[in-house]
Structure 1
């Protein structure tokens, strides 16, 4: 109150300016809220576009990711073990796998990927590379 008297300002105009500033601040807040919703929608769309869905069914062969191999993995040691066979697909992203000795265990489906092997190739067989015939 004393500042308005000291600066010779009108209280009525100062009050109107303050009300207008508060309304403008409220509009800015609402606009920022709308912009944040738009940002979240765009980010979700971009993220969902990059997701590859896994369509797993019982009987598929899969490889299992070993996440505990990070401490001393070895230079050429693979983090994927298997192949395992899916016994059943459970709801909410879990699968039950059959081990080589017919043991069952349940894991998160994010830890598995399809095993793409030729059915004609045996597990112990090796591939031999042959140079093409010289021309």
Structure 2
């Protein structure tokens, strides 16, 4: 009677709620795909070869006072390139190799 109709209406409401939830998941997935595509389009690939001169970003510079000091050290010479953006570099004044992530590097446009 009235309880049966109320039970059927409640089941319909739960099914509608489930459909709304699934639609929200789908919209969220589409939004994330679009944002990732825009982000990936703006990423600049940094390709360095053996022998290139590069500058190294000093991330500790924000702790040191002096707003006009450069945050870039170098130039360093790229000695070895590994997959996934790992670079082995040497400073001209020392023979020691340091391993650095490619995101911390930029090409040096100075005298060779």
TM-score, normalised by the number of residues in structure 1:
0.76
Higher RCO, Cα 8 Å, sep 6+: 2
Residue 4 of structure 1 is matched in structure 2 by none
CA RMSD of aligned residues (A): 1.4
Quick one: distance in 2 between partners of 1:75 and 1:22? 59
Gaps in structure 1 of 5+ consecutive residues: 1-8, 120-135
User: Judging changes above 3 Å, is the alpha-carbon distance between structure 1 residues 34 and 75 closer, same or farther for their aligned structure 2 residues?
Assistant: closer
Distance 1:26 1:71 in 2: 51
Moved more, 56-65 or 96-105: 96-105
Aligned with 1:78: secondary structure?
A: coil
* Structure 1 position 94 matched with structure 2 position 86: yes
Q: What is the aligned residue count?
A: 111
**In the TM superposition, what is the alpha-carbon distance from 1:118 to its structure 2 partner?**
4.8
Structure showing greater radius of gyration is 1
Q: Please report the TM-score for the alignment, with normalisation by the length of structure 2.
A: 0.91
> C-alpha offsets along residues 67-99 of structure 1, whole Å, 9 cap, x if unaligned?
111122413211111111100111222100011
More strand, by proportion? 2
Alignment of 1:1-135 (within 5 A): 10-100=2-92, 101-119=94-112
Moved over 4 A (4+): none
Task: Give the unaligned 5+ runs of structure 2.
Answer: none
Structure number with the higher helix fraction is 2
